[in-house]
């Protein structure tokens, strides 16, 4: 076992990120001490149930949380910029040029008042000193790159005139408009049917490789994560409980929550009439997190000491880390 965290030259480095929402009756600790590193040209997937802190972490990387109702501590470095120290004007320049996001529902993210061509050309001209004609040609090239048919005509379309899959491709084109180095994808395939999901995942992976992007991909679907990710970080109750290469987590999961997620998938190995495994219980209240492991009340392997304090991070072989007192007990899925 490796006792210390390996060090790398990372493009994205998040250290001890804490995000607390203070707008309600009680403070909600949505993210609790997340550490995350992403190399240039690498895809890291954040997976977990709804409410585990995935999207909150992602939006923190882009500085999207309302300052009045959000308390954030820790460090977020993207390239040579400290995101939490950027002024509103610096953040406006940072978004789009350095880091950009593909939102979960493009119909809500895109402006319904302007056609798609106007939205992309405006984005390009906001960050770069180019003419309207040049920005239009770049928008056209982006539509061609994301394989939108009849791209010239589609640039004149409004978001509601496009299908879900075409809107998501337009959202990807908009996110890539100013050639960012970091792409954040917040469950970009959730609202799509299975066939279109696969097309979007393959497109994202192809674009990521061609452009050398660093990507953080949020999903609750571990199957989608395996398709696109080099590394997977499993989140539960605002903490990363296991992280490692995608192939390692798929074949040798060490945290009971990761194993439970894998066992709850409906795949070809499930025999007819066999009951699908589920995770008993419900996630903890983020406004009253327990002192110990947050998964202990749902864990089949929990011991009394699991409820007393947070387990430390154990580093295994192949840059594989896990937060669990029983991490060194190998088990198969």
Name the domain boundary from 179, 209, 228: 179
Q: What is the pLDDT of residues 189-207, one digit of tens each?
A: 877 888 888 899 999 999 9
Supply the range of the domain harboring residue 160. 110-179
Same-domain pairing of 192 and 242: yes
pLDDT at 210 over 90: yes
Same-domain pairing of 119 and 163: yes
pLDDT at 117 over 90: yes
Q: What is the pLDDT of residues 249-298, one digit of tens each?
A: 988 999 999 999 988 876 655 566 677 778 888 899 999 999 999 999 99
Same-domain pairing of 161 and 246: no
- 219 and 200 in contact (C-beta within 8 Å)? no
Q: What is the pLDDT of residues 142-179, one digit of tens each?
A: 999 999 999 999 999 999 999 999 999 999 999 999 99
Name the domain boundary from 163, 179, 195: 179
Same-domain pairing of 237 and 93: yes
Whether residue 225 is contained in a domain is answered as yes
* Exposure on the CB side of residue 233, measured as CA atoms within 13 A: 24
Whether residue 278 is contained in a domain is answered as no
Same-domain pairing of 256 and 188: yes
- 234 and 321 in contact (C-beta within 8 Å)? no
pLDDT at 2 over 50: no
pLDDT-based confidence at residue 3 (cuts at 50, 70, 90): very low
Map tokens 């491709």 to a residue: 169
Same-domain pairing of 76 and 155: no
- 225 and 37 in contact (C-beta within 8 Å)? no
In 3D space, the residue among 36, 34, 59 whose CA is nearest the CA of residue 186 turns out to be 59
Same-domain pairing of 209 and 320: yes
Residue % of the chain over a pLDDT of 90: 71
Same-domain pairing of 115 and 198: no
- 59 and 216 in contact (C-beta within 8 Å)? no
pLDDT of residue 266: 63
pLDDT at 101 over 50: yes
Which CATH number characterizes residue 201's domain?
3.40.50.300
Phi first, then psi: give them for residue 111, nearest 5 degrees.
-80, 120
pLDDT of residue 7: 45
Same-domain pairing of 32 and 156: no
Q: What is the pLDDT of residues 13-57, one digit of tens each?
A: 999 999 999 988 899 999 999 999 999 999 999 999 999 999 999
CA dihedral 246, 252, 257, 258 (to 10 degrees): 20
Task: Please give the structure tokens belonging to residue 93.
Answer: 């320049």
pTM confidence score: 0.90
* Euclidean distance between CA atoms 125 and 52, whole angstroms: 37
- 157 and 139 in contact (C-beta within 8 Å)? no
Same-domain pairing of 80 and 22: yes
Whether residue 18 is contained in a domain is answered as yes
Same-domain pairing of 169 and 212: no
* Euclidean distance between CA atoms 246 and 232, whole angstroms: 5
Whether residue 232 is contained in a domain is answered as yes
3-class DSSP state of 241: strand
Residue % of the chain over a pLDDT of 70: 93
Which helix H or strand E contains 43, and what residues bound it?
Answer: strand 43-47
Structural domain total, the chain:
2
């Amino acid at each position: 076992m490796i006792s210390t965290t390996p060090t790398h030259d990372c493009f994205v480095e998040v250290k001890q990120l804490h995000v607390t929402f203070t707008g309600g009756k009680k403070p909600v600790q949505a993210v609790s001490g997340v550490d995350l590193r992403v190399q240039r040209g690498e895809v890291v997937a954040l997976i977990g149930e709804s409410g585990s802190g995935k999207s909150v972490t992602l939006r923190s990387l882009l500085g999207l949380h309302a300052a009045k109702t959000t308390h954030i501590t820790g460090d977020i470095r993207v390239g040579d910029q400290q995101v939490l120290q950027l002024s509103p004007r610096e953040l406006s320049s940072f978004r789009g040029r350095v880091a950009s996001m593909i939102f979960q529902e493009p119909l809500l993210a895109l402006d319904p008042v302007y056609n798609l061509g106007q939205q992309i050309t405006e984005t390009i001209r906001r960050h770069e000193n180019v003419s309207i004609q040049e920005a239009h040609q770049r928008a056209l090239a982006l539509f061609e790159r994301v394989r939108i048919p009849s791209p010239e005509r589609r640039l004149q379309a409004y978001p509601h005139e496009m299908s879900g899959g075409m809107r998501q491709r337009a959202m990807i084109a908009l996110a890539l408009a100013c050639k960012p180095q970091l792409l954040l994808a917040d469950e970009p395939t959730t609202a799509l049917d299975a066939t279109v999901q696969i097309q979007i995942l393959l497109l994202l992976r192809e674009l990521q490789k061609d452009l050398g992007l660093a990507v953080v991909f949020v999903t609750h679907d571990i199957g989608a994560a395996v398709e696109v990710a080099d590394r997977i970080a499993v989140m539960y109750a605002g903490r990363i409980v296991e992280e490692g290469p995608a192939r390692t987590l798929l074949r040798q999961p060490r945290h009971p929550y990761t194993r439970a997620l894998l066992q709850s998938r409906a795949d070809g190995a499930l025999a007819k009439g066999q009951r699908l495994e589920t995770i008993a219980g419900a996630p903890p209240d983020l406004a009253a997190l327990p002192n110990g492991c947050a998964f202990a009340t749902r864990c089949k392997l929990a011991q009394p000491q699991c409820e007393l304090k947070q387990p430390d991070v154990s580093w295994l072989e192949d840059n594989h880390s896990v937060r669990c007192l029983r991490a060194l007990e190998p088990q198969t899925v």
